[in-house]
Structures are given as structure tokens and as C-alpha cells.
Structure 1
Amino acid sequence: MGDFGVELARLRARRGWTVRELARRASVSEGQICNLESGRRNPTPAVAAACDAAFGAGGVLAELAGAARRGRQAGQPVEVDSLLAGYQRILEELKDIGRSVGPRLVDAPLRSVARILIDTASQGGAGPDRHHEVWLLASRFAEYTGWMAQEAANFAEASRWTDLAVRWGGNGGDGTMAAYALVRKAFMAEHRGDPAAAIGLAGRAAEQAAATPLIRAHAARREAQGHASLGDYEACREALERSRGHAHEDNRRGARWGPRIENGNPRLIEASCMVSLRRFEQAADLFAIELDRHPAVPPDPNSRTRLTIRQARALVGIDDLDQACHVIEAVLPTVRSLDSATIRAELGRFVHQVRPRRVTPGQRNLVEAAAAVADGRQPEREVLG
């Protein structure tokens, strides 16, 4: 499902190829690939065949290129059920890729699909009775595009796409995205090191009339982390309790914005807060129970890597430097492959926490290797002596 550019970008993301790698394999220019994925150009038969051969796509891309050249007659409605089902599957697949390798491979296909969906909705291609469904799906793509921009540390783009998600969700008759957008902006404020602003934004999100219990649960978690960063234990505990209460309410009303709440283990969230509160022994115990005894939770590499680094920080806090360094050594290749700015920032906090301590030469090598990865540099050494 999808036009040539979307399918090209999806196949590239699934292979883990950069634009440069695909251009090399297909013997075309990088500019051509970018123009095709963004929808600015339709492919010639020769380019379509070259890309098809590079992927071994069995003629799928050539057929899509032919369909693009034939085009749809003006005013002819699209098959809405097929469009919605197809692009929803593509969104879920792109999310899986984003959780596994970070934002760089999924940005182009996310933007391409969003453009197709808003063109379909705004030009009446879905008909008067179904256009709101297309707007809502476009809003979901915009929301995830914003999250990937945040993971790439581009906060201006993250904010812009989040605002687009609010607008397009409103066009589709769903005001819940406006509430969840405040949660997202609270996360951005937290990442910028402004916990007071994060608490304020999360509180505003929870007060929105359109906020679902799910959104209020996410908002309470952001509040809890903000209070933890400010050292307010009681306020943090109260927010964690509110989050648990909202998570158990009926979350079927409205769109499901944000991560699935059931994937956010409340004990791991509590452990993260305890690290910020410098209650390291309590945090280390919680992490040991939830991460070491349940190695498949959380299931996606992004969340597990982030939490594993926090576990290492807790271990540093209780002076178990040897175990902390071994934990970090094991996770460094994953940090590099994920290419997540928020995870690199978490790794930077580990480095900052360890550097003032007396460590062995092997541990010092590991810490400097972690610092290089946190800064986006290639480390010279990555092993303990």
C-alpha cells in the first residue's frame, strides 16, 4: 500500500540503508532518491527498475511507478478503507523501525505519507463522509514525526509537527491531541533541563477537558519525573499514584496518543524517579527486580536501553562501579545503533556521575568510550581492561 516514494522509503528503512547507500546500489543520485521519497518527483521507468533491482522487490516498485504515471482521474475518490488500513500498517511498521534504529531512517517516509494524507483529506479525495478519518490518521503520522524529531534533538521541528498533529486531529473531530501535545512539550522541557516548566505543562495537560485517562496518566508521569528532578519526594510519590490510578481507568475513549500505557511498567518509572531523587539503593533494587528478572520487559530496544542506563546510574550511586561499567559496556553498541538524542543524553548523565570518582584504568577507558558515544563521536576503545 502506498505510492512509489513511500514504498521506496519504507523498503530503505527496513533494510537500514541510508539514502547514500540506496543511491549507490541503484546507481542514481542521492538527490533523486530524496526527491522520490518526498513525493516531489515521479520516477522514470529506468529509475524505478533500478530501485526495484536494488531491493529485489520483484516488480512492486515498477508497478507503483506505472500507477503514478497513469495517475488518478480528477475527482475520482480513493478507496478509503484500503488507504486507511494500508497506511496504518505502514505507521506501525515505521514505529517498530524507529524504536529499533532511531529517527534517521523513518523521517522521510513519515513526512511523505503525511503529505499524501493531507492532500487526500483537503482535496476531498476521501469524500465528505470519510475525510475526518484521513485527517486523524494524518495527525497520528504528524505526532510520531514530531517524536522522531525530538529524538534527533530538533526541538523546533518536534514542536512544529506536534502543532500540526493538533490541527489535523481537530480537523478530524478529535481534540484529545491538543491535550497530549502538552504532555509532549512537558517531555521536551524536561529534556532541556527545565523540570519546573515540565511540571506546569503536564499539569495543564491533565486539566484539559479533552484529556482521556490515558493522557492524564502520561501527564502524571511527566509531573512525577519533574518533581523528582527538583528533589521533591512527596510530590513525586503523589504524582506516581495519580498516574497508576488513571492508567487503570477506561482508556477506550478517543485516540490513543502516546506510548501504550501498559508498556510503561510503573515500578520501572518509579525506579527512574528514585535515580533523580538520589535514592539510589531503592532504585537499584527496583531495577534488579524488574529488568534482571524480566529481561523481555520493556520489549522495545529504545525503552530498555534508556532504563538500563538508569540502572547503571543507580549502581554508581551505591558504589557498585564494576557492575555499573559492565552494564554500560554491554549497552554501548545499542546506544550507537539507536541514534537517539534522549538516550545519548541519559548516557551523558552516567558519564558525569562517574567521572569524579576513583576508578580503575579499565573503568576509566569504559567511561571515556561512553563519553564519546554520548557526544556522537566514535570511541577509540570500548572495552574494560
Structure 2
Amino acid sequence: MDAAARTAGTAPAGRSSSTRLPPGDFGVVLATLRARRGWSVRETARRANVSEGQICNLENGLRNPSPAVAAACDAAFEADGELVGLAGAGRRDTRDDTIAASGPVIAGYERVLGELKGIGRSTGPRFVTPSIRSIIRILTDTGQRADGEESAEIWLLASMFAEYAGWMAQEAGNSAEALRWTNLAVRCGARGGDETVAAYALTRKAFIAQHRGDTRAAIRFADQAARHPAATPVIRAHAARRAALAHARRGDAGACGDALERFRSHVAEDTGGRPPHWGPRIGNGSSHLLEASCLLGLRRFGPAADLFATACGPAVPQDGNSRARFAVRQATALAGLDRLDDACLIVDATLPAIRLIDSATLRAELARFVQEARPRGPGPGQLALIDASDTLATG
């Protein structure tokens, strides 16, 4: 198996059957297969012996593949002729109508979104963003031509892809692009008859503001999300989470505690049915992880370290991004207690994942660790690790 594919947690495409190719036109399928393998555009171009520009143009829908390029891509992905056949079908003008009339294909795109989210959590935004953009283009074109319930389903699906595009833009460190995609998600959701995305988008804006260090704006957006008439208990829980973390960073323990109580109350309202339409499911250990993170923000390092020690484990989602994020937070709490040996062991084990995922939010967590650890009189080996962390955090 290809090393990148092992890291991404997905097997290579191998010799495909018709069920192995995701739905979509040639560019969407190419980008999704590339994301599955964990290949960069450069690596894909090298393996197919074509230019990087050709790969980008194909994935973004700017060019149709020539027979030779289609055959080269087919060989690179060992698609057993299916990519060639897909290219032969061309970018049919009727593809929008075909998608609009086909519930199974809509379900296929939903599966692709789940797959791309899994890859993104393990490898970061660079491998999945071209696929997301291509699919949004197809879905918005299709939604404009469809009617009735099928139109609503397509716009809601486009909204989900746009919301995830916003998250990936934030992970890439582009807050303006993140807001642009989030606003598109709201517009698509409204066209699909679902106003809850407008409420959830406010929690996303709170997160973006918090990532920029604007805690006042983060609290304001979180409060707006909680009061939004379309907010569900899960969305209100996400809003309370953002408010609690922002209050903690401002040093307001009382307001942070109130937000934590609201979080627990809204989590208790969740019936635990199907996954929420917007935002990740809130797991059983989320309350403990959130409380530990708030204690860290309040610089109560002892209780934070103790709580992370008990909560970091089964409560942490098993994707690379989440594991790395909470591991670095635990290390930051230990550094605040002058337990640099323990803190550096955790960070040293986590740095490879952070390098792979290349997430702006992870780099921000790493910068907090550096800020806390550097003044603690580290030894030569510890200082080398802190310097390496600083370079990665600012790179």
C-alpha cells in the first residue's frame, strides 16, 4: 500500500469496479481519487506524466480531458478503464438533470462528503479542497435547474459541502475565504428550505473570530447563534462551547462557568438520534474535554492537566486532528506546571501528525505550548524541541 494512503487511513484505489468510483464528472472523480490516495497535485502529475496545470484545470472543471490524458490518469490510479470511459462520456450538458433526477446519486455525493471529511481530519485541507470546490460547482449548477423536492435536496447538499469548504479554508489559515464559503452555505441552505445552517454558521463565525484572537466577537457570534430562532439543541451546545472558551481566554471564570452549564444543559436536550445536520456529533466526553480546555484558558494548569489526563483517551475523537489538538493542550497544561519532561514527550510524539495535517488551528495550539514552555528554563534537548515546535507553529 502507498505510504501516503496508509497515513490517510484509506487504501489505494487499486483495480476499480464501478462501485469504487465516486459520483461526479471526470474532474470531481479525479480529485476524489487523488484525495483517497493522499497524493498532492504534483505527485499525481508525476505519476500520470502530465503537467500540474493540467491536473488543476481538470479538477476545477476548466478543461475536459483529452483521450491521452484520461488514459494516463486511468493508468496512474489503476482505474481499469473507468476513467477513460468517464472521459468519453464527456461533460454532458444534461448531467445536472441526471443528478437532479437521481436520489441514489445524491446519496452518493453525501457518502463522498463523509469520505472527504475523514481524509481532511487525517491529512488537512490540501488534499480535499479541490474535490470540494468541484462538487460545489456541480451542485449549485444543478440546483438552479432542478425543481421541487429534488431541488431542495441538492441545495442542502451544496450547503453541506460549502460549510465544509469553509472549515477547510480556516484550517488552511484563510479566514476571509472561510467566511466566504460559510456565507455561501447559508445562502444554499436557505434555498433548500433549511434555516438551521444560518444558526450554525454563527458558531463557525465565532470559531473564526476566536482563532483570530477576537474573543469579544467570538462571544457576540456565539450569543447570536444561541438566540437564533432556528437553532437546535446541538447548535446551542456548539454556541455555548464557543462562548465558554472565549470567556476563559478573557479570564472571566464566572461567565465561562455559566457557558459550561449551558453546554451541558443543551447536550442533555439532544435525543441522540441521527447525526446532526450541522456540526460534529457531541460525544460523551465532550463536557470533560471542554472543561479541561477552559481551565487551560483560565491558566488553572493543575486542574486542567488532571482533567486532560482522565479525559484524553476514549473521549477524544479518533481522527488525527482531534488527537493532536487535545494532546498539545495537555502538554501546554503540563508546561504551565513546570513538568517540561512530560510536556515535551507528548509534543515530540505529536509533531509528526501536526506536520502531516498542516492545520492552522493545530499550529495555533502549538504556538500556545511554545509560549508557555519557553520561559520555564528548558534544558538543551527540550529547547531544541521547543524551537522545532516554534518553527512549525509559525511556518
- The normalised TM-score by structure 2 is 0.91
1:189 aligned partner:
209
CA distance in structure 2 between the partners assigned to 1:212 and 1:297 by the alignment = 23
Q: Partner of 1:123: helix, strand, or coil?
A: coil
Residue pair 1:103, 1:151 contacting (<8 A) in 2 also: yes
**2 CA distance for matches of 1:27 and 1:285?**
53
Structure 2 equivalent of residue 273 of structure 1: 294
Question: Quick check: 1:84 aligned with 2:103?
Answer: no
The one of 102, 117, 140 equivalent to 2:160 is 140
**113, 120, 131: which one pairs with 2:135?**
113
Q: Partner residue of 2:385? A: 366
- 2:248 matches 1:228: yes
**Conservation of the 8 A alpha-carbon contact between 1:224 and 1:237:** yes
Aligned position for 2:372: 353
Instruction: Give yes or no for the alignment of 1:245 onto 2:265.
Output: yes
Partner in structure 2 of residue 51 of structure 1 = 73
Matched, 1:338 2:357: yes
Is contact 1:212-1:253 (8 Å) kept?
no
Query: What is the aligned partner in structure 1 of residue 221 from structure 2?
Result: 201
- State whether residues 2 and 86 of structure 1, in contact with CA within 8 Å, keep that contact through their aligned partners in structure 2: no
- Which of 48, 72, 92 aligns to 1:26? It is 48
Identical pairs, percent: 61
Preserved CA contact (<8 Å) 2:245 2:256: yes
Q: State the partner residue of 2:13.
A: none
RMSD: 1.8
Report if the CA contact (8 A) 2:286-2:315 is conserved: no
What is the 5 A alignment of 1:29-40? 29-40=51-62
Alignment deviations for residues 308-360 of structure 1 (CA, whole Å, 9 cap, x no partner):
00000110111111100111100000000011001001101111111112111
Tell me if the contact between 1:220 and 1:243 (Cα under 8 Å) persists in the aligned partners. yes
- Would you say 1:303 and 2:313 are equivalent positions? no
Report 1:167-182 matches (<5 A). 167-182=187-202
Preserved contact between residue 174 and residue 254 of structure 1 (Cα < 8 Å): no
Which amino acid letter does the alignment assign opposite residue 4 of structure 1?
F
| Displacement of 1:128 | 2.9
Structure 1's 297 and 74: CA in aligned 2 closer, same or farther, altered over 3 A?
Answer: closer
Partner amino acid, structure 1, of 2:50: V
Q: Out of 329, 337, 347, which is 2:348 matched to? A: 329
Report Cα offsets for 1:71-121 as digits up to 9, x if no partner: 538966743212211100100000000000000111100000011011111
Instruction: Identify if the C-alpha distance between structure 1 residues 41 and 375 changes in structure 2 by more than 3 Å, giving closer, same or farther.
Output: same
Contact 2:316 2:322 in 1 (8 A): no
Distance change >3 Å, CA 10–CA 237, structure 1 → 2? same
Deviations 1:175-194 (CA, angstroms, capped at 9, x unpaired): 01111111001001111111
Structure 1: 5+ residue stretches without partners: 377-385
Using a 3 Å threshold, how does the CA distance of structure 1 residues 205 and 3 change in structure 2: closer, same or farther? same
Instruction: Name the SS for the 1:211 alignment partner.
Output: coil
Cα offset for 1:16? 1.2
Cα distance per residue 1:164-208 (max 9 Å; x no partner)? 000000000000111111100100111111111111110011000
Shift of 1:262: 2.1
Q: Give secondary structure in 2 for the equivalent of 1:278.
A: coil
Task: Output one character per residue of 1:256-289: Cα deviation in whole Å (capped at 9) or x when no partner.
Answer: 2111122762101110110010111100111111
**Normalised by the size of structure 1, how large is the TM-score?**
0.93
Matched residues in 1 for 2:187 and 2:304: separation?
Answer: 40
Q: Could you tell me which of 182, 200, 212 is aligned with 1:162? A: 182
Matched residue of 1:129: which SS?
A: helix
Deviates more, 1:77-86 or 1:26-35: 77-86
Pair 46,212 (structure 1): closer, same or farther in 2 beyond 3 Å: same
Residue 63 of structure 1 deviates from its aligned partner by: 1.7
Q: What SS is found at the alignment partner of 1:48?
A: helix
Taking the aligned partners of 1:140 and 1:280, their CA distance within structure 2 comes to 38
After superposition, the C-alpha distances for 1:293-319 in whole angstroms (9 at most, x for unaligned) are x35732111111111000001101111
What is aligned with 2:87? 65
1:130 aligns with 2:120: no
Q: Is the 8 A contact 2:236 2:266 kept in 1?
A: yes
- 8 Å CA contact 1:135–1:171 kept in 2: the answer is yes
Q: Contact conserved, 2:285 with 2:315, CA < 8 A, in 1?
A: no
Quick one: distance in 1 between partners of 2:394 and 2:167? 21
Name which of 232, 235, 254 aligns with 1:215: 235
- Looking at structure 2, the residues matched to 265 and 254 of structure 1 have their Cα atoms a distance apart, in angstroms, of 16
Q: 1:268 to 1:68 in 2, by over 3 A?
A: same
In structure 2, distance between residues paired with 1:120 and 1:335? 37
* In structure 2, distance between residues paired with 1:65 and 1:9: 14
Q: Secondary structure at the residue paired with 2:125?
A: coil
1:33 CA displacement: 0.7
